[in-house]
Chains A and B, each alone.
Chain A
Amino acid sequence: MSSTPKATDPSAPLFQVEDLWVRYRMRYTSFEAVRGVSFNLGREKLAIVGESGSGKSTVGRALLKLLAGNAEITASRLQFGEVDIAHADEKTMQTIRGARVSMILQDPKFSLNPVIPVGEQIAEAYRVHQKVSRQEAKARTLDMLAAVQIRSPERVFGQYAHQVSGGMGQRIMIAMMLISNPEVIIADEPTSALDVTVRLQVLAILDDLVRQRGMGLIFISHDLNLVRSFCDRVIIMYGGQIMETVAAADLDNVQHPYSRGLLNALPSLEHRRPRLPVMQRDPSWSRLQKEITP
């Protein structure tokens, strides 16, 4: 194995994943949710797209080892900066989760604690990772709320989750996840619950912050149109495997029949078709691909 890259080197990949498998063990059977996934993440916006059950969220969670107890994660390489995630213990993972890699989930209603003011929750997230006073954490929180373009941070600080709208809630989640200045953000369908115009604004905030701070973003989504214009690279998953990895700009030129089928099945605002082509699933797609992408 080559020398371990330092996370401080801006050109080094943040995550290196080779031959990642996730197996769920059940009493009599086991189920392989992720089968031999390999990719590198640099300081870029990398999308993982796929339909439900493709394993896209499981990949995101496996990177932080946030899976159920019966899940077994194996990989020939699962490296985050200088940390070997595959063999890291819980204690090491605790120093990574939230501090260096954080995660944004789909619906802020379920991610925020309903009985604690949202500002307190953000400040708490900061104080878990930094030894600072309450006042300082609050000051940082207010700065962060302003950074996600919340106009009256003082007022929002004291509000509860049920008092804020979906778009506002997702901005609060972004503030909470970015306050520790992580190197990587894993966003699992962060805007699927939002209206289109709100979605655009939330994405712009995420986009700006990721760019300014030189972070890596893993954007898990089912929305091909969004990913095309928002991300740099796209991984297309099906049945726990990567079907294809393409630059977002080349998404229209994908080769794999599954990727093609997925794109064609999408109703389009550019051209109208009397019928949408229906995907014919080929059992060979589910067969294990042995070649490993570099």
Chain B
Amino acid sequence: MISVQNLDLAFQTAAEEHKVLNAINFEVAPGEVFGLVGESGSGKSTVLRCIAGLYRHWTGGISVDGQSVAGRLTKAHHRKIQMVFQDPYGSLHPKHTVNTTLAAPLRIHSIGDIDRRIVEVLGQVGLPTAARFRYPHQLSGGQRQRVAIARALILEPSVLLLDEPTSALDVSVQAEILNLLADVRRARNLTYIMVSHDLAVVAHLCDRVGVMQQGRIEEVLEVPTLLAGEARTDYTRILFEASRRYDRSMASSLAGAAKTA
């Protein structure tokens, strides 16, 4: 469904070239949930933005559903790939009601039947119809993220790119959103790529995970392999252990490793 080959990306400043992605390779099968984890600055969100077409100056190859994501992108392409961002408060227009927000993509793509589609998608993401004419500030954080998911779903895409979709939410709300994402994927047979710094969240939702560090994919592994502690690279093992619990001895070994590095 999605294929990323030898993806390189650099940002040019006056003095130097800063390379943020280095030979990224992975394939995502139709209906698969692929996770990208890594620490801040590892380039995980940047990969998503390249696939979404938000960065255009990369080199290498990205194709979605057999079509290359390069050159001029058509409306049909954008309709196929939709994105959900981390902070729903930042990604929703504060002066637009939920109705306006959800109608906009339909108008852009000249899709009719707006009324029915909005009611339907609100039901699917578990929002009450009363929420339809509210503004973002009148909704809770979880409800706002549901609106962001509804906006992505209303164009009936085949791929959802999820950029830290639950990191701004409380644990109990996170559980609801993760369940919603799992339900929607099953109902619509969607393909997901999810980026998160939280290994537990990625391990919960994804089938396979790519572990990123400093613009490279260190390794791609099946989630059961990860959970069994059978990661191949040291970095993945460290990330896994550090996510599980606080461990004094591990902290010293990390500090030691940082010193020698």
CB distance from A76 to the nearest CB of B (A): 31
Residues of chain B within 8 A (CB-CB) of A214 are: none
Given contacts A222-B170, A275-B179, contact A204 B244 (CB under 8 A): no
Which residues between 215 and 261 of chain B lie within 8 Å of chain A, taking CB atoms? Answer: 223-224, 227, 238-240, 242-248, 250-252, 254-255, 258-259
Task: List the A residue with the shortest CB-CB distance to B199.
Answer: A269
Contact B200 A203 (CB under 8 A): no
Q: Mark B105-131, 1 if CB is under 8 A from A, else 0.
A: 000000000000000000000000000
Contact B200 A269 (CB under 8 A): yes
Instruction: State whether the Cβ of B197 lies closer than 8 Å to any Cβ in chain A.
Output: yes
Instruction: State whether the Cβ of A72 lies closer than 8 Å to any Cβ in chain B.
Output: no
Given contacts A200-B254, A267-B203, A272-B227, contact A51 B171 (CB under 8 A): yes
Contact B242 A197 (CB under 8 A): yes
Given contacts A272-B203, A278-B179, contact A262 B247 (CB under 8 A): no
Residues of chain B within 8 A (CB-CB) of A266 are: 171, 175, 200
Which of B174, B176, B182, B239 touches A196 (beta carbons < 8 Å)?
B239
Instruction: State whether the Cβ of B18 lies closer than 8 Å to any Cβ in chain A.
Output: no
Label chain B's interface by main secondary structure.
helix
CB distance from B15 to the nearest CB of A (A): 17
Contact A265 B244 (CB under 8 A): no
CB distance from A13 to the nearest CB of B (A): 25
Contact A261 B172 (CB under 8 A): yes
Instruction: State whether the Cβ of B189 lies closer than 8 Å to any Cβ in chain A.
Output: no
Contact B251 A200 (CB under 8 A): yes
Contact B245 A196 (CB under 8 A): no
Residue ranges of A at the interface with B (Cβ–Cβ < 8 Å): 51-52, 149, 151, 166, 195-201, 203-204, 207, 222, 224-226, 228-230, 261-262, 265-270, 272-279
- State the 4 A-B residue pairs at the shortest beta-carbon distance, nearest first: A204-B251, A229-B245, A267-B204, A265-B175
Residue ranges of B at the interface with A (Cβ–Cβ < 8 Å): 39-40, 141, 170-172, 174-176, 178-179, 182, 197-201, 203-205, 223-224, 227, 238-240, 242-248, 250-252, 254-255, 258-259
Once bound together, how far apart are the Cα atoms of A203 and B247, in whole Å? Answer: 9
Residues of chain B within 8 A (CB-CB) of A199 are: 242
Given contacts A151-B259, A201-B254, A269-B227, contact A276 B244 (CB under 8 A): no
CB distance from A247 to the nearest CB of B (A): 16
Residues of chain B within 8 A (CB-CB) of A222 are: 170-171
A-B contact pairs, 21 of them (CB 8 A): A200-B242, A200-B246, A201-B254, A201-B255, A204-B251, A222-B170, A229-B247, A230-B246, A262-B171, A262-B172, A267-B174, A267-B201, A267-B203, A268-B204, A272-B204, A272-B224, A272-B227, A273-B204, A274-B182, A278-B172, A278-B176
Which of A151, A196, A204 touches B248 (beta carbons < 8 Å)?
A204
Task: List the A residue with the shortest CB-CB distance to B205.
Answer: A267
Given contacts A51-B172, A261-B172, A278-B175, contact A226 B254 (CB under 8 A): no
Contact A228 B171 (CB under 8 A): no
Contact B243 A196 (CB under 8 A): yes
Residues of chain B within 8 A (CB-CB) of A262 are: 171-172
Contact B239 A197 (CB under 8 A): yes
CB distance from A269 to the nearest CB of B (A): 5
Once bound together, how far apart are the Cα atoms of A197 and B36, in whole Å? Answer: 17
Once bound together, how far apart are the Cα atoms of A159 and B243, in whole Å? Answer: 31
Residues of chain A within 8 A (CB-CB) of B238 are: 197
Residues of chain B within 8 A (CB-CB) of A204 are: 248, 251-252, 255
CB distance from A165 to the nearest CB of B (A): 9
